[in-house]
């Protein structure tokens, strides 16, 4: 079961490899993005960032297949972009919790800093809204497990993206 789905375009880093993995109690981390899954360098390097953890680098389709084939495994999915998370959720798969972690600004896009660590475009905001709709109308943001949880849709509205 996908216990936790985090949207974080930095993928695996210290916060994920140490704090979130322990907090969630997951047995596996899946980095989910079609392009990353085709990059042999990232497929080799990303598992090194989370030593002592099972790390899989999958496309959206491979993530869904793995979850289906391993229903009793506690899985932590890190989606690179909101679209990756939406592609998973629109299949009807149930996820324990969804969190927008970090989203570094992408050069050449018309982004707005929604929080100190999350940049989004209007297109991203629409996808986040669809994710929330598939998650009972809510979507949260939380940097670290010990940080407070915020209503990410409210943050998007405050940033005038919704």
CB neighbours of residue 142 within 10 Å: 17
Q: Tell me the C-alpha distance between 144 and 23, whole Å.
A: 9
Residues 6+ apart with CB under 8 A from 81: 7, 9, 33, 124
Look up residue 156 and give its two tokens.
């998007």
**Residue (of 114, 87, 121) closest to 100 by Cα position:** 114
Catalytic position from the list 1, 10, 13, 64 = 13
Q: Tell me the C-alpha distance between 114 and 124, whole Å.
A: 11
Task: Classify each residue of 33-47 as buried b or exposed e, where b means 16 or more C-beta atoms within 10 Å of its C-beta.
Answer: bbebbeeeebbeebb
Active site residue 13: yes
The catalytic residue positions are 13
């Amino acid at each position: 079961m996908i216990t936790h789905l985090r949207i974080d375009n930095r993928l695996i880093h210290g916060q994920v490899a140490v704090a979130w993995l322990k907090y969630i109690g997951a047995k596996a981390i899946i980095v989910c993005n079609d392009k990353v899954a085709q990059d042999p360098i990232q497929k080799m390097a990303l598992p090194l960032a989370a030593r002592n953890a099972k790390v899989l680098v999958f496309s959206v389709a491979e993530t869904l297949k793995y979850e289906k084939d391993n229903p009793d495994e506690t899985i932590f999915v890190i989606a690179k972009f909101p679209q990756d998370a939406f592609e998973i959720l629109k299949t009807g798969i149930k996820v324990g919790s969804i969190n927008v972690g970090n989203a570094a600004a992408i050069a050449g896009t018309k982004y707005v800093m929604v929080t100190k660590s999350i940049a989004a475009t209007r297109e991203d905001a629409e996808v986040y809204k669809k994710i929330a709709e598939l998650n009972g109308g809510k979507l949260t943001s939380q940097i670290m497990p010990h940080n407070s949880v915020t209503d990410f849709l409210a943050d998007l509205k405050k940033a005038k993206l919704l």
